[in-house]
């Protein structure tokens, strides 16, 4: 089960210095609903029932007093994805859609070795933990000492992307959200459409090609048999470093333009938009509440509000909320309290999720969930799986969405869903 955590190597960003590669985990957790299958290296399995995040905490006991390698943020531990619907059972949200993508709700591997790519020092470091199984240790060393010829896989679409919503169907769902807002059910709902196309070839080739274009700071790739997740996320979900917590929700979007005058106009329009600032502030308040359920009393702060960040295809408004954990073990409770991220649900969170479940016709799967690493000391970093594609056997799926508020305009919201993902769909149409 190979995995790559990529950062875009953008020297303008402080969080794009390191990238991580690993494979052959010592143990794998696959969760669907309240059932988690635990697979061991020797091929044996065990089944546990309950909340998957509680099972993850039990299967991955921390050693917070151990001293991590200070030169690198991550040197091994748990890596995996958490699908958007992972906690629906515990939020009492009924499953209205058919599971037409055959990925688990949670897929996490425990990796005892990692290749750390350091873009600042322009070097690679192979780190193998002391408890790495001998068979894995030998296989890793052999893989990195043998000379291998370069191979270039191919990835192609074999048909067109088709949305689960027509433009008219999207507008109908959008109007239903507006009606719920006017009725006082909610203040904001993230409404999404999914595009699917038949495909063939190597998904890692597609990931490499798309990340070269996107340069996403929180990108991730994981392959498991005929399934793969290709995430090009610009958004951090939750970071924990020495019990210090940070989340950076995105709300507010404008497209980039090759004309610098138009591009600056779009950025300025975003920065001065009262609607986008209000939308962002709603999510800041939601995330302050989510973090406050676990973090120490009075530790919650908002050091950055409405910061503009520019990416390959869009400008975004990004805010930063911080807090402090009392204990390293609280990282699992924090993940549970904040999941799924408020920027991709709406406010209030549970009611917004119920409306999403009613109006969207297909499951989100990994999209709008999270991809994360957690090390043995309780440090963690994670993304929100937006700008994320899922390959499931002979199909590839991608989603585009946006937050709908009372003063939204339906056609503009529809166009925003396209602006966010057209870069990836257009690139996949090219012959690579």
Q: What is the 3-state secondary structure (H, E, C) of the chain?
A: CCEEEECCCCCCCCCCCEEEEECCCCEEEEEECCEEEEEECCCCEEEEECCHHHHHHHHCCCCCCCCCCCCCCCCCEEEEEECHHHHCCCCCCCCCCCCCCCCCCEEEEEECEEEEEECCCCEEEEEECCCCCHHHHHHHHHHHHCCCCCCCCCEEECCCCEECCCHHHHHHHHHHHHHHHHCCCCCEEEEEEEEEEEEEECHHHHHHHHHHHHCCCEEEEEEECCEEEEEEECCEEEEEECCEEEECCEEEEEECCCCHHHHHHHHHHHHCCHHHHHHHHHHHHHHHHHHHCCCCCCCCEEEEEEEEEECCCEEEEEEEEEEECCCCCHHHHHHHHHCCCHHHCEECHHHHHHHHHHHCCCCCCCCCCEEEEECCCCCEEEEECCCEEEEECCEEEEEEEEEECCCCCHHHHHHHHHHHHHHHHHHHHCCC
Assess whether 251 carries a catalytic annotation.
yes
Catalytic residue among 251, 336, 349, 391: 251
Q: In the annotation, is 358 catalytic?
A: no
Catalytic residue among 19, 235, 354, 413: 235
Active site residues: 235, 251
């Amino acid at each position: 089960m190979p995995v790559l955590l990529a950062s875009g190597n953008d020297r303008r960003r402080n969080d794009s210095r390191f990238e991580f590669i690993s494979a052959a985990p010592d143990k794998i957790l696959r969760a669907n609903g309240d059932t988690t299958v635990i697979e061991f290296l020797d091929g044996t399995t065990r089944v546990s029932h309950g909340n998957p995040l509680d099972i993850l905490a039990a299967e991955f006991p921390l050693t917070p007093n151990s001293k991590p390698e200070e030169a690198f943020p991550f040197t091994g531990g748990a890596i995996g994805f958490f699908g958007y619907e992972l906690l629906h059972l515990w939020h009492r949200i009924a499953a209205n859609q058919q599971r037409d993508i055959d990925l688990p709700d949670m897929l996490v591997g425990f990796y005892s070795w990692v290749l750390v790519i350091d873009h600042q020092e322009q070097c690679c470091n192979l780190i193998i933990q002391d408890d790495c199984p001998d068979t894995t240790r030998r296989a890793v060393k052999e893989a990195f000492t043998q000379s291998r010829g370069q191979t270039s896989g191919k990835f192609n679409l074999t048909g067109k992307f088709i949305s689960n919503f027509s433009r008219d169907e999207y507008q109908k769902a959008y109007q239903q959200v507006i009606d719920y807002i006017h009725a006082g059910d909610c203040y904001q709902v993230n409404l999404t459409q999914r595009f699917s196309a038949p495909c063939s070839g190597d998904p890692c080739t597609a990931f490499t090609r798309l990340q070269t274009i996107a340069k996403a700071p929180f990108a991730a790739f994981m392959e498991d048999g005929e399934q793969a997740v290709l995430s090009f996320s610009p958004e951090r979900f939750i970071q924990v470093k020495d019990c210090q917590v940070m989340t950076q929700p995105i709300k507010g979007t404008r497209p980039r333009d090759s004309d610098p005058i138009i591009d600056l106009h779009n950025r300025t329009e975003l920065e001065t938009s009262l609607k986008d600032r209000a939308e962002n502030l709603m999510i800041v308040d939601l995330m302050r509440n989510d973090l406050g359920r676990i973090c120490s009393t009075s530790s919650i702060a908002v050091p950055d509000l409405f910061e503009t960040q520019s990416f390959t295809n869009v400008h975004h408004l990004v805010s930063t909320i911080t807090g402090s954990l009392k204990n390293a073990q609280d990282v699992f409770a924090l993940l549970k309290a904040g999941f799924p991220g408020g920027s991709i649900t709406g406010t209030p969170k549970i009611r917004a999720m119920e409306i999403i479940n009613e109006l969207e016709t297909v499951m989100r799967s990994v999209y709008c969930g999270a991809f994360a690493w957690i090390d043995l000391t309780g440090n963690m970093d994670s993304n929100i799986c937006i700008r994320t594609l899922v390959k499931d056997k002979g199909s590839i799926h991608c989603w585009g969405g946006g937050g709908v508020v009372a003063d939204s305009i339906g056609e503009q919201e529809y166009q925003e869903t396209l602006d966010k993902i057209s870069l990836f769909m257009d690139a996949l149409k090219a012959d690579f």
